[in-house]
Structure 1
């Protein structure tokens, strides 16, 4: 699975959100459900990708 963002400036960062935080859980959820994930940065965009397992 891939999600592309047209803003290449800021790369996503894996955060450890607390129970009071209203943001910062997206990559933690991705890490929890995927086999592996990463970020591909290009000149005009960035893409977060992941590999999902399953049978």
Structure 2
């Protein structure tokens, strides 16, 4: 975050976490996205997580 990127690639970044920590990290990432205006490309095989993290999904 030091270089203030406009795009952050997240490939299965939360998949190894337990449910509680995954939910906490989802909230942290969404807050960071709102605060800094960063675009995320978020790759996951978990449909619930995709819907939780998405503003626009393709």
Of Structure 1 and Structure 2, which has the larger fraction of its residues in helix?
A: 2
Same-fold call, TM > 0.5? no
Which TM-score applies when normalising by structure 2? 0.27
